[in-house]
Structure formats: structure tokens, C-alpha cells
Structure 1
Amino acid sequence: MTSQTRAAIGAHGEQLAVEHLTDMGLVVLDRNWRCRHGELDVIASDPATRTVVFVEVKTRTSDRFGGVEQAVTPQKVRRLRRLAGLWLAGQDQRWDGVRLDVIGIRLRRSATPEITHVQGVG
């Protein structure tokens, strides 16, 4: 894994996260949505609950920078909320619920990637 660029590692992690979400029955609405304030990694909807889910994906190849819990600070949650509000403002559809999730992907050389999904972080 070390020979890959950070961008390639991140893209691989996001693809694994998208597969995880679709396996859970969610529908991916958008990926890497950008505006001048930042980027949302994945935006999905849960048709069963009519909830839109904004997902921050954190891909790691080691534990050097901590786990998923350390990756999402209160400041990061505020930024995600702001970005989610901007995305929602541009949509015609309305949802019954809104949720912020974090998916941590830990890639190891020989093992299956480890996926940690924390729902409702903020």
C-alpha cells in the first residue's frame, strides 16, 4: 500500500465505503460534491427511512493518526453540517431525516480491509 499516492488510497477507501453503503441498502446520490466551503465525500439516501446520509470517509493504512473517533473533531462536524445544509439547499427533494456518518477504512497489505461505520456523529 505504501507505493500508492494518498489520493489513490483515499479513492480506494471511498469506493469500499460506497460498496458498504449499497450493501446496507442505501442509494448513493453524489460523490465528492464540492463547493467553495469544502467537500462532501459521499451523499446517500436510505429509502426505508427517507433519510439523507452525509458520509465522511477516512482511509488509513496505519493507526498512526488514530481511529475514526479521533478523525472527526467537533470542528469537522460543524463543517460537515454546514456543507450538508448547502447541499440540501440546492435540492428539490425533501427527506424525513438527515444524518452524518463516518466510515473508517483501514487498509492492510495482506488482510481484508477493516470497515468501521459510525452512524449519527453530529
Structure 2
Amino acid sequence: MTTDRRRKLGSRGEQIAADHLVRRGFTILERNYRSRWGEIDIVAYDGSQIVFCEVKSRLVNRAGRDPLESLHRRKRLQVRHMASEWLATRSHPRAPGLRFDAIGVTLTPGGELVRLDHLEGAF
């Protein structure tokens, strides 16, 4: 898959994930936060917790692979570093809790949603 197609797939998956969170009552605080550690896809607030979301998107029938298979230990650690930096550099609601979620999005080649898996407290 070319870089441009991969970027479009990721962007489409992130938009679907953000829409999903909004439908569930979350406020999106930031998308695509970049730091020296990398990028946090979505930072959201549910009224009691700040939630850092890693979104993984795949095309359907991609060798039967689940989008969340690629959420390795190294990536989870990287997201935690970025979350620390985000909390230190951004104004945000005072929240008694933090959570790290993973959202897997499976799409057709035309960009239609096939499946969405939202794992709360994934890591």
C-alpha cells in the first residue's frame, strides 16, 4: 500500500473513531498531537477521565489481521510518554483519572466501516 493510501486509511479510521467517541458523549480535546515521542491520535474527555486513544485502521480481508495486533509494547510505552508530555504542556480539564484506550477500525477498500472495536483501558 502506498504511503498516500496508508495515510488516507489512517485519517479515515481516526475520523470514524472520533465520531464514535462523540456519539458516546466524549469531548475531543485534541487530535494528532505531535511530540518528540510521536503522535497521539485522539485525546478525549468523558466528564471524569482524560482518555488517550490509539487508533489502528486496516482494510477488510487483510490476511485476517486484527487492527489492534500492531499495538506493541513499544507503542504503548510511546503513547504513555506522549500523554505525560501532553498533560504537562496543554491546558485540560481537571480529571481524577486517566485512561489509555485502543480503537480498531476495519474498512472496505472504498472506506466504508466494517467493524469498530473500542477497548477501554487497553493498556
Question: Would you call these one fold, judging by a TM-score over 0.5?
Answer: yes
Determine the structure 2 residue equivalent to 1:82: 81
Structure-2 residue corresponding to 1:108? 108
Amino acid at match of 1:31: R
State the distance in 2 between where 1:44 and 1:104 align.
16
Q: Is the 1:68–1:102 contact (alpha carbons within 8 Å) kept by the matching residues of 2?
A: no
What's the counterpart of residue 8 of structure 1? 8
Q: Are the structure 2 counterparts of residues 12 and 89 from structure 1 closer, same or farther at C-alpha, using a change threshold of 3 Å?
A: same
- What root-mean-square deviation, in Å, do the aligned CA atoms of Structure 1 and Structure 2 show? 2.0
Note closer, same or farther for the CA distance 1:73–1:29 as it changes in structure 2 (3 Å cut): same
Report the Cα offset of residue 18 of structure 1: 0.4
Task: After superposition, give the CA deviation of every residue in 1:65-112 in whole Å (9 maximum; x if it has no partner).
Answer: 731442211211111111101101113443110000010000025764
For residue 119 of structure 2, what is the aligned residue in structure 1?
A: 118
* 2:32 aligned residue: 32
* Residue 53 of structure 2 is aligned to residue 55 of structure 1: yes
Matched to 1:61, the amino acid is L
Identical pairs, percent: 35
**What aligned pairs does 1:59-78 form with structure 2 within 5 A after superposition?**
59-62=57-60, 63-64=62-63, 66-78=65-77
Instruction: Report the count of equivalent residues.
Output: 118
Decide whether the 8 Å contact of 1:103 with 1:117 is kept in 2. yes
The runs of at least 4 consecutive aligned structure 1 residues that moved more than 2 Å come to 62-66, 91-94, 109-113
Contact kept in structure 1, 2:68 and 2:103, CA below 8 Å = no
Q: Give ranges in structure 2 of 5+ residues lacking alignment.
A: none
Output the TM-score relative to the length of structure 2.
Answer: 0.86
Structure 1 residues 8-36: Cα deviation after superposition (integer angstroms, max 9, x where no partner): 11111110000100011110000000012
Structure 1 gap segments, 5+ residues each: none
2:96 equivalent in structure 1: 96
